[in-house]
Structures are given as structure tokens and as C-alpha cells.
Amino acid sequence: MNIITTRFFKKNSRHFVSVCLIIFASCSDQEPVGSPDAQVTTEQTVYEWKMITSWPKNLPALGTSPEYFADIVETMSNGRMKIRVYGANELVGGLEVFDAVSQGVAEIGHSGAYYWQGKIPGTPFFSSIPFGLTSYEQDAWLRYGGGNELWKELYAPFNLIPARGGNSGVQMFGWFNKEINSLEDLQGLKMRIPSLGGEVFRRAGGVPVTMQVSEVFTALQTGALDATEFVSPYNDLAAGYHTVADYYYYPGWHEPGSTLEAIFNKERFEALPEDLQAILITGTEMMNQLLLDELTAKNNEALRVLVEDHGVQLRRLPDDVLIELRTISDEVVEEMAQADEATAEVYASWKTFKEGVMNYNSIAEEAFIEARKLSSN
């Protein structure tokens, strides 16, 4: 399926859907869709599901990808699976997605695993760890390094099945109303920054705030927040943060490759016919790649607009600040790993994979990027 996605979907989504339908039909006991012997009747069950998200509905990439997921699932299922998408606060609050899907208020959710750390200590490993894995490294650990299996084990007691539902790539550190020239400038700063990044920020002297995305703009505008992180230029431009903050800092040490999750109500998912289960999971895989591709393609132009058209002050965090944040991050992650036996198991898997992939990337991605810089001078 990955080969099909890569080669065909970018060129022609209709062609890709046709290929998917043929594959699913050939792998089942049913006749292929469109076969002369296929029996399509009005008695065929149509499932109408709800999907709730943690994002404003029309937010580029994060908000629009679930709509794409719903459309492609309906097409691949030949109309047997219809999904209505709700943005944050339309059905439940953006930070209530986990509980709502677990309880069956909606069948599917789209959010970030690190929001649920208070329920399951190890969830940040399934979204992003400060100074941790990049997007493709994170995807590789989940798919081939044992991450997916551990993720499913942790969510099963909550009547949930998790799946990859997108990745942000390396994020920006965020928007500030003052320059950051040293660690001293972080002292007492109120910043919207969730999960482990927030804990690192707290230990560095800041005041982390967990707040759903729809409330952040007003909080910055009124001074309730001094700073915020969100994602990257494409999303941040759409959110309008450049109108309420002057300085835009990088790199996003706190979220180097954040996986977004699609979560399914386990009981209702397993009650579906197997072909619809396969279609839903395939839809999440497509959404996972689509979201990263869109952000990668759009971020550069959005950054140009922010800097050249809106006069945003782009700044890199000083090295001494990054070094201190890295030291604190290592301490925070080590402490989290001791929360319970399950988290320790996840940490061991993640750490082993990280050490291996970093070793290889030192002579692969990193070496190539350095070589590319040299060749352009």
C-alpha cells in the first residue's frame, strides 16, 4: 500500500481510490466492486460515524486532514462508511477527545497523544519527545520498531485503538512578545506549551500553560499569555499569531516530529466488517503522509509571507539556552520513564531505536545536509 500511495496518489486521487477498491475486494471473500457477479443491494449496511478533533475545523493541514480522511474513507467504502467531522468545541472540547471516543460519544478522534499524559504517563512517546525523533524516525519506530504494539497495549484498557494520523515535522519554538537572549529571559514567562516541553519550560523558569488551540489567540491578545508554541509557519500564519506577537523563535526543540493520532472506539471498530476496518486504517495511513507532505510543501512560502509581508522578527534561540534546555529535557524524560512499568517498557524501546537511528543518520541525513550546505557555498 505504501508503494501505491507514493506513486499514484499525488498524481491522481481517483486512480488511487480505484486501485485501493480492487485490492480490498481481491483480499476479501466478496466479488470485486464492479464485477458482473457483484450483488449490490439496498440492504447493504451504511455506517454513519462521528469524528471529533482537537483543532479548529478549517485550520490548514491539522483541521482539513480529518475532512480528507472522511472523504477518502467514504469513497473507498463505496458509501458504506460516512464520517461527519467536528472541530474543537463543536461536539466536545478539544482536550476532551480521548474520553469522548472512549465512552462512545464519537467513534473516531483526531488529536495528540501527549494531551493524555495525566491518564497514561507514557503517551508523549507516541507524539513527540523534546530533542527526540524526527518525523520519519518517529514513523519508523512506530511502524517497525515496536511502537505501534506498545501504543495499542496502553490504549486497550480505555476501549481505544490508536493509529498514526499525521506528523508536523520539526516545529517552530513559537511566538514571543519579547526577545530571548538568555535563560533569564524565560523567567516567569507565561507560555502555552503542553506535555514534556511544558515541564522542561517550567524547570527552566517559565510558566507553562495547557490550553486548547481555539483559545490561544485571544489569550495572547489580552496578555493572559506572553508566548505560545503551535506548529509551524503554515498553521501559524492561518492562526494570525503574527498580529499579536512580534518574535518568532526556532528550532522547535520541544516537538521535533510530532505524531498526531487517530483514535477509534475499540468496541465499535471491532464490530465492523473486516474490509471496513482495513479501509479506516488505510485512511489513517494516507492522512498521516498527507499532513506531513502539506506542511513540508507550504511552510517555506508561509514563512516568507510572515517575514517579508508582515515584518515578523525571525530569531534563533541562543546556543547556551538550547544546551540548558537539552540538559533539562534529558532529566525530565528519564524521570518520566520511571513512572510505571509500562512507561519504562516504552522508554526502553524508544531509546534503543533512537540510539540506532541517530548512529546511522550521522552518516546519512546529517552528513548529506552538511554536504549540501558546503556545495552551495
- Is 264 within any annotated ligand binding site? no
Q: What is the DSSP string of 207-276?
A: EEE---GGGHHHHHHHTS-SEE--S-HHHHHHHTGGGT--EEEE--TT-SSPEEEEEEEHHHHHTS-HHH
- Is 202 within any annotated ligand binding site? no
- Is 338 within any annotated ligand binding site? no
Distance CA 181, CA 177 (A): 13
Distance CA 235, CA 196 (A): 22
> Is-contact 281 72, C-beta < 8 A?
no
- Is 229 within any annotated ligand binding site? yes
CA distances from 176 to 5, 7, 181 (A): 39, 41, 12
- Is 270 within any annotated ligand binding site? no
CA distances from 35 to 21, 274, 335 (A): 12, 20, 58
What grid cell was written down for 279? 479501509
Q: What are the contacts of 216-222 at 24+ separation with CB within 8 A?
A: 216/192, 216/241, 217/241, 217/244, 219/192, 220/175, 220/177, 220/244, 220/245
Residue 176 DSSP SS3: strand
Q: Binding site residues for Na(+), as ranges?
A: 230
Q: Binding site residues for substrate, as ranges?
A: 171, 192, 229, 255
Q: Binding site residues, as ranges?
A: 171, 192, 229-230, 255
